[in-house]
């Protein structure tokens, strides 16, 4: 008497119940109880096998740190050759590298890994990629070129750009100091929103070494970029151009007191193609050298080189006049300068009028009647009270206070606050009082820790 086959729906329910159980079977050290049960169930019949494989191959870990583990990789690639449906079940891929030995990039591990990645990509189910590096001697300087040329550019970067999340990067390569790696790739965290990836938050952007056939960013709606060095800005414009058709929010931020952003770099951003942009948020820090930069005598209305105020005005100029969806623009400007420059050097900078004109032009051309501009100015001054060599640019008969007239921290803060008030209310005659523009101002005095106690 032959046994009637079970309906596939019932088989799926049985396997789902088995998959959520986790009994403890110490006699099977290589398998958890769940995986052992699934492996046994897959041997019942072909109908059970496909249901079990969805769980058995949901997460795959590949290690290239030992020849025995590379041998297992070879066995797995042969298994996929015999059963091409397996790649469709893979959702999470973890790859472990030996960052001291580049032999995996060549024969035999490199070709096998490349073939495996091709098969997994063709399956279309991969959602998360985890990359981790192993190093017995972390102090050894890595050589990441084989990783970049043989693995990253042809495989991982395209997968991530095709809506696959780069979930974890934990190399012992010290990415911040590995120049070759850092210069070749900008890292942007990438996250998913439901089934459609819509966020690029510190992801993978690339240097000119990135292949030109990279997929477009047409699915991105939100982009966050944290600037750690100027190269980050170079790759960011490529992302903006590629995502312009769908981009709704763009956030650019540099770390406080990490003065890697200059006016010329900031001015390179072009948002004219982002006609669906709704929120623009620029939050960057500048060093104080710009107090010595003035427009030339021949062109008094033009900014000097690397003028941060010009960079801000350029961003406003680049916003598309056709954009009627823009509802909020936030510009946070952090100006830090040497302790012996007076706040008046910043107040009297002629380039403030460039920002004022840019804001006025944006207000007059913007089609979004409800769009608001929030301009936040943060002035930070570095001062060492023990310095015996004053460097004030003002003469002794100047009406502005110099080192001797500061007296105390409170006196300085009062004067600094007045300087900021002059910037906000006197340097923006065209936009002052406009109901769609909000100005904020803050100030601080940063000193060496040992010097702070003297003023307490």
Judging by beta carbons within 10 Å of its beta carbon (0-12, 13-18, 19+), is residue 136 exposed, middle or buried? exposed
pLDDT value at position 313?
75
Give the list of residues 6+ apart from residue 290 with CB closer than 8 angstroms, or none: 263, 304, 306, 307, 308, 309, 335, 349
Average pLDDT, the chain: 61
With beta carbons less than 8 A apart as the criterion, state whether 327 and 284 touch. Answer: no
Q: How far apart are CA 13 and CA 435, in angstroms?
A: 61
Q: How far apart are CA 14 and CA 12, in angstroms?
A: 5
Q: How far apart are CA 148 and CA 179, in angstroms?
A: 13
With beta carbons less than 8 A apart as the criterion, state whether 62 and 116 touch. Answer: yes
CA atoms within 13 A on the CB side of 318: 21
CA atoms within 13 A on the CB side of 31: 13
- The residue with greater pLDDT, 394 or 213, is 213
Question: Considering only CA atoms, which of 274, 277, 267 is closest in space to residue 317?
Answer: 267
Q: How far apart are CA 372 and CA 376, in angstroms?
A: 13
Each residue of 13-57: pLDDT tens digit?
Answer: 777 776 665 545 444 444 455 777 777 777 777 777 777 778 788
Question: Considering only CA atoms, which of 315, 250, 257, 251 is closest in space to residue 285?
Answer: 257
Q: Are strands 185-193 and 196-206 parallel, antiparallel or unpaired?
A: antiparallel
User: What are the C-alpha distances in Å from 159 to residues 101, 117, 178, 395, 420?
Assistant: 25, 9, 24, 62, 48
pLDDT value at position 447?
41
Each residue of 136-160: pLDDT tens digit?
Answer: 444 444 444 555 555 665 666 555 5
Question: Considering only CA atoms, which of 202, 255, 205 is closest in space to residue 225?
Answer: 202
Q: Using the predicted structure, report yes or no on whether residue 124 has a pLDDT greater than 50.
A: yes
Crossing angle between the packed helical segments 109-123 and 67-82, to the nearest 10 degrees: 40
- Region 269-278: mean pLDDT is 83
Residue 372's DSSP bridge partners are: 328
User: What are the C-alpha distances in Å from 398 to residues 279, 285, 293, 347, 403?
Assistant: 44, 29, 21, 15, 12
pLDDT value at position 27?
42
Q: SS3 of 2, please?
A: coil
pLDDT-derived band at 304, boundaries 50, 70, 90 = very low
Tokens at residue 158, please? 């395209």
- Look up residue 142 and give its DSSP letter: P
Judging by beta carbons within 10 Å of its beta carbon (0-12, 13-18, 19+), is residue 393 exposed, middle or buried? middle
Q: How far apart are CA 271 and CA 315, in angstroms?
A: 7
CA 291 to chain centre: 30
Q: Using the predicted structure, report yes or no on whether residue 184 has a pLDDT greater than 50.
A: no
Each residue of 90-100: pLDDT tens digit?
Answer: 888 887 766 55
Question: Considering only CA atoms, which of 57, 36, 45, 39 is closest in space to residue 10?
Answer: 45
Give the helix ranges, DSSP H, for 244-294.
Answer: 263-266
- The residue with greater pLDDT, 231 or 66, is 66
Residue 251's DSSP bridge partners are: 224, 281
Residue 226's DSSP bridge partners are: 253
- Region 420-442: mean pLDDT is 63
List, edge to edge, every strand of the sheet that includes 372-382: 185-193, 196-206, 222-227, 249-254, 279-286, 328-337, 372-382, 437-446
Round to the nearest angstrom and report the end-to-end CA distance of the chain: 95
Q: How many CB atoms lie within 10 A of CB 274?
A: 26
Each residue of 239-267: pLDDT tens digit?
Answer: 677 778 778 888 877 755 445 555 556 66
Helices and strands, number each (H, E), in the chain? 16, 12
Tokens at residue 176, please? 């911040």
- The residue with greater pLDDT, 361 or 423, is 361
């Amino acid at each position: 008497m032959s046994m009637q086959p079970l309906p596939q729906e019932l088989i799926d329910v049985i396997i789902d119940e088995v998959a959520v159980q986790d009994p403890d079977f110490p006699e099977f050290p290589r398998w958890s109880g769940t995986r052992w049960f699934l492996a046994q169930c897959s041997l019942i019949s072909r109908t059970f096998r496909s249901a079990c494989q969805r769980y058995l191959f949901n997460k795959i870990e590949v290690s290239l740190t030992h020849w025995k583990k590379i041998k297992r990789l070879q066995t797995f690639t042969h298994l996929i050759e015999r059963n091409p449906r397996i790649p469709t079940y893979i959702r999470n891929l973890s790859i472990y590298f030996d960052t001291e030995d580049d032999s995996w990039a060549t024969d035999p591990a490199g070709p096998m890994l490349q073939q495996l990645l091709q098969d997994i990509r063709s399956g279309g189910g991969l959602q998360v990629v985890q990359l981790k590096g192993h190093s017995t001697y972390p102090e050894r300087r890595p050589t990441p070129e084989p990783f970049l040329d043989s693995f990253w550019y042809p495989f991982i970067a395209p997968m991530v750009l095709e809506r696959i999340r780069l979930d974890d990067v934990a190399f012992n390569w010290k990415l911040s100091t590995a120049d070759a790696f850092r210069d070749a790739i900008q890292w942007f965290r990438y996250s998913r929103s439901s089934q459609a990836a819509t966020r690029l938050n510190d992801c993978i952007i690339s240097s000119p070494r990135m292949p030109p056939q990279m997929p477009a960013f047409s699915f991105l709606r939100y982009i966050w970029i944290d600037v750690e060095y100027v190269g980050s800005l170079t790759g960011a414009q490529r992302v903006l151009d590629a995502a312009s058709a769908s981009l709704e929010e763009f956030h650019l931020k540099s770390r406080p007191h990490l003065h890697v952003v200059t006016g010329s770099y900031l001015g390179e951003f072009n948002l004219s193609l982002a006609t669906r942009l709704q929120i623009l948020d620029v939050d960057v820090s500048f060093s104080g050298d710009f107090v010595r930069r003035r427009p030339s005598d021949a062109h008094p209305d033009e900014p000097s080189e690397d003028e941060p105020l010009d960079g801000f005005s350029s961003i406003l100029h680049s916003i598309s006049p056709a954009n009627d969806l823009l509802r909020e623009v936030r510009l946070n400007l952090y100006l830090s300068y040497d302790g012996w420059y007076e706040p008046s050097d910043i107040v009297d900078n002629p380039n403030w009028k460039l920002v004022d004109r840019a804001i006025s032009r944006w207000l007059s051309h913007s089609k979004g009647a409800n769009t608001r501009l929030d301009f936040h100015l943060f002035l930070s001054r570095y001062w060492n009270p023990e310095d015996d060599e004053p460097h004030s640019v003002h003469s002794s008969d100047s009406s502005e206070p110099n080192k001797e007239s500061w007296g105390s921290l409170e006196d300085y803060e009062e004067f600094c606050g007045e300087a900021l008030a002059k910037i906000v209310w006197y340097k923006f005659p065209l936009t002052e009082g406009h109901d769609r523009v909000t100005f904020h101002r803050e100030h601080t005095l940063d000193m060496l820790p040992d010097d702070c106690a003297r003023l307490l």
